[in-house]
Homo-oligomer: A and B are copies of this chain.
Amino acid sequence: MILTVTLNTALDLTHHVPRLVPHASHRVTDVAERPGGKGLNVARVLAALGHETVVTGFAGGPTGEVLRTLLAAESPVDALVPIAGNTRRTLAIVDGSTGDTTQLNEPGPTVTPAEWETFLSSYEELLRSAQAVALCGSLPPGIHVGAYADLIRRARTAGVPVLLDTSGEPLLRGIAARPDLVKPNADELFQLTGSRDPATASPDARRKGAHAVVASLGPDGILATTDVGVWQATPPTLVRGNPTGAGDSAVAGLLAGLVTGLPWPDRLKLAVALSAATVAAPAAGEFDRPTYESLLPQIKVTPHASGITPR
């Protein structure tokens, strides 16, 4: 199975309003809620592709209960660790006049040292049957900034390939623990390396510890810098829509390709097709399967001029 870790899970609410006017009062015309947090989104896409997936992390309080009740109706297996704090909510306000989204993210609940220890025991146990693990998203209050580095070391000790998708200091600390793969966007690469050019920043990120770096370039696809080659994968046309969750779908594609044993160029095709099909889907964070299937054979993968980069 594939394990995804979401330490800062969220109940994702979506409010549709005819038109968002700051400082006015609005009747919400449509409400949706679903289990969220990057690792849960990754797991949902993996499950849709037929992979057995298990989600772990934390959930607690009344909001955590709602999240788990909704998760029970989905395919990924719930291995979330209960906490005393209340799981956070995120709110996406969709403006019907433009289709644009305004996002509000609550801070997470504080996780106690005892809850973290319980999680570590459960994580080690889950690693025994994991083919790959993805560590996704922000850290809630109470979790030390080196937490991802700790989880990466434990995965490596267990011989489980590990992907890290986070930002800021947790990414900086995590990358030093030598994850198999990181998936930064241009901003995260800049924070990590000080370079705005993914072609130079990616090799630099490899030197900082990541075995492979898959940089997401938004509508230009992704640039993968690995120990066996450098490739850029691009969708055939500009896909318009809501980019929420596109990065999580790319992570799912990379993991699916990894556990299936696909060569790098084919993994990148999965990642880019899923990502574009997520942008194209009417609901945020879902991928549109017909779009995915029609895009997959059209993704162009080109070896990048810079070739294999030294570490």
Residues of A within 8 A of B (CB): 13, 15, 17, 20-29, 31, 62, 65-66, 69, 89, 91, 93, 95, 98, 100-107
Contacts and interface: CB of A to CB of B under 8 A. Distances in A.
A103 B24 contact: yes
A93 B104 contact: yes
Contacts of A91: 15, 91
A13 B106 CA distance: 11
B62 A102 contact: no
A23 B100 contact: yes
6 contacts: A15-B91, A23-B100, A28-B105, A28-B106, A62-B62, A93-B104
Given A62-B65, A62-B66, A95 B23 contact: yes
Given A22-B95, A26-B102, A27-B105, 18 more contacts: A15-B91, A17-B104, A21-B102, A22-B22, A22-B102, A23-B98, A23-B102, A25-B105, A26-B103, A26-B105, A27-B107, A28-B106, A29-B107, A62-B62, A62-B65, A62-B66, A91-B91, A93-B104
Of all A-B residue pairs in the complex, the 9 with the closest CB atoms, nearest first, are A25-B103, A23-B100, A62-B66, A28-B106, A26-B104, A31-B106, A22-B102, A28-B104, A15-B104
Nearest to A31: B106
Contact of A15 (B21, B25, B98, B106): B106
Contacts of A28: 104-107
Given A15-B106, A106-B15, A101 B66 contact: no
Contacts of A21: 102
Contacts of A66: 62
